Amino acid sequence: MSQVNNPVAIDNDGSAVLERNVEPSKQLAHTVAEAVELYDVDRTAAHIAEGGYSRVALQFPDELLADSTLVSAALQERTEARVFILADTSYGSCCVDEVAAEHYAADAVVHYGRTCLSLTTRLP
**Contact between residue 35 and residue 60 where contact means Cβ atoms under 8 Å apart:** no
Q: Which residue has the higher pLDDT, 17 or 44?
A: 44
pLDDT reading at 120 higher than 70: no
- Sorted by sequence, the CB contacts under 8 Å of residue 105 that are 6+ apart come out as 55
pLDDT digit string (tens) for 64-114? 888 999 999 999 999 999 999 988 765 566 677 777 778 889 999 998 877
Nearest to 44 by CA among 81, 94, 69: 81
Residue 2: the pLDDT is: 42
pLDDT reading at 16 higher than 80: no
- Alpha helices, DSSP H only, in the chain? 15-19, 32-38, 41-51, 68-78, 98-103
CA distance 80 to 45: 9
pLDDT digit string (tens) for 25-66? 556 777 889 999 999 999 999 999 999 999 999 988 888 888
CA distance 117 to 16: 23
Sign of the CA dihedral 3, 17, 82, 73? negative
Sign of the CA dihedral 40, 93, 1, 118? negative
Q: Which residue has the higher pLDDT, 85 or 6?
A: 85
Q: Which residue has the higher pLDDT, 106 or 15?
A: 106
